Amino acid sequence: MIPSWTAAGVLPPIRPGQPGHSSDRSPYRVALTDFVEEFSSSPERIAILNGFLDYRKALHALGITSGFQWIDGSFLENIEVIETRPPKDVDVVTYFYLPPGDTQASLDTKAGNLFDHDHVKATYKVDSYTSILGKQVDAIQVRKISYWYSMWSHRRDSLWKGFIQVDLDPQYDGDAKNTLDAKVGGGVTP
């Protein structure tokens, strides 16, 4: 379950009512459909979510189906109130295992421009980053994970906040897409 925005318009870094040392904290692991349902409240958000689901579909087509995604940015904030504007994109770090039979080099070749940050942002409205899992955990990998956690645990104004984690498994994408389509059918036009 995704906690509600705080009075400051952000997800709380620790689930309300839990002690400060609780493990029930950000990143909140949620089902893809719950994430889509919770954040598909405007035409702009629906367009971004459609782009996000299309990005996931492109990753899945490459065989990238195992891992998870951390989701953050103004998309997870009540930015319409905080800054009186809609979100422009969604920030995503995809942590994934290489598909069987692929190396990083072979996957890069097959991916074309799918790992090109600017292309993905322009095409899918996803501010995208990737990290391969399953390699030996070393100081560089720990530093990268720590970097994203520290970046996404605070707003630029230093306010503590939370973020979301969804599974990369494609089995939930159809239901998530149906949830978006139902929103459009219910009158929220992208």
* pLDDT given at position 188: 60
Kindly state whether residue 20 falls inside one of the protein's structural domains: no
* pLDDT given at position 137: 65
* pLDDT given at position 190: 58
E-state strands within 116-168: 126-133, 164-167
Kindly state whether residue 190 falls inside one of the protein's structural domains: no
Kindly state whether residue 4 falls inside one of the protein's structural domains: no
- Quote the domain boundaries for residue 151: 28-182
* pLDDT given at position 85: 96
- Higher pLDDT: 23 or 22? It is 23
| Other Cβ atoms closer than 10 A to 143 | 9
Kindly state whether residue 22 falls inside one of the protein's structural domains: no
Structural domain total, the chain: 1
Each residue's pLDDT tens digit, 53-110: 999 999 999 999 999 999 999 999 999 999 999 999 999 999 999 999 998 999 999 9
- Look at residue 158 and give its three-state secondary structure: coil
Q: Residues 171, 36: contact at Cβ < 8 Å?
A: no
Each residue's pLDDT tens digit, 115-154: 999 999 999 999 999 988 886 666 777 777 777 777 777 7
Each residue's pLDDT tens digit, 171-181: 999 999 999 99
Q: How confident is the model at residue 33 (pLDDT cuts 50, 70, 90)?
A: very high
E-state strands within the chain: 28-29, 67-72, 90-97, 126-133, 164-167
Q: How confident is the model at residue 31 (pLDDT cuts 50, 70, 90)?
A: very high
* pLDDT given at position 162: 86
